Structure 1
Amino acid sequence: MSETSIRRNDDGGRYELSIDGEIAGYAEFRQRPGEIIVTHTQTLRAYKGQGVATRLTEWLLADARERGERVVPKCPFLVEYLETHHEFDDIIDRG
């Protein structure tokens, strides 16, 4: 079994998903008061096709909701994800 962890790295401006201690993917963001602007999601080549970006996106959105932040989706992956996952509409600013 692989050990998966996700963390918000405020200093690096990204959420990071690690598998067995190695970064498998990340979502970059910029922060403004009360919101985060998600600009890019990347899955590293060795982890493509394993649902890394989806797990990372779901965690990012849940974390933003818990923090009381709104999310501004600028990342194409996130925009596409939100087209079929309307449970997060309450925290999304499509701007």
Structure 2
Amino acid sequence: MATGSVRDNKAKGRFELDVGDAIAFANYRLTPSTVIITHTETPPSLRGRGIASELVQGALQLIRTDGLKVVAGCGFVVDYLQKHPEFADLVG
């Protein structure tokens, strides 16, 4: 797994996780009460190492801290939420 922490890059509308020289990210659209995650991407060389899961978990924690709900607009986030019921309260 990555050693960094997930950050919200508001200027680019995405959550980011640094992994070495690469960045995994999750694009989002923001409404007044909801974050719609539209796409997650992990560089090909990093796939299969749990990086995307770490990214989504960190993004969901930031969303919770901000008091917002989440809408899964990409298949990976849909699957993640199904496997992690501890985030069910965020689904909006």
TM-score, structure 1 length as denominator?
A: 0.88
Q: Which runs of 4+ in 1 moved over 6 A?
A: none
Determine if contact 2:5/2:58 at 8 Å carries over to the other structure.
Answer: no
Q: Identity rate of aligned residues, in percent?
A: 36
Q: Provide the residue aligned with 1:45 in structure 2.
A: 44
| Structure (1/2) with the larger strand percentage | 1
Structure 1 residue matching 2:81: 3-state secondary structure: helix
Q: Provide the residue aligned with 2:29 in structure 1.
A: 30
Q: Deviations over 1:32-77 (max 9, x none)?
A: 1021100001110111111110000100111100110100111100
Instruction: Determine which structure has more spread, i.e. the larger CA radius of gyration.
Output: 1
Q: Judge which range, 77-86 or 2-11, deviates more.
A: 2-11
**5+ residue gaps, structure 1:** none
Q: Distance in 2 between matches of 1:24 and 1:50?
A: 14
Q: CA RMSD in A?
A: 1.3
- The letter for the 2-side match of 1:8 is D
Q: How many equivalent pairs are there?
A: 91
Determine if contact 2:24/2:43 at 8 Å carries over to the other structure.
Answer: yes
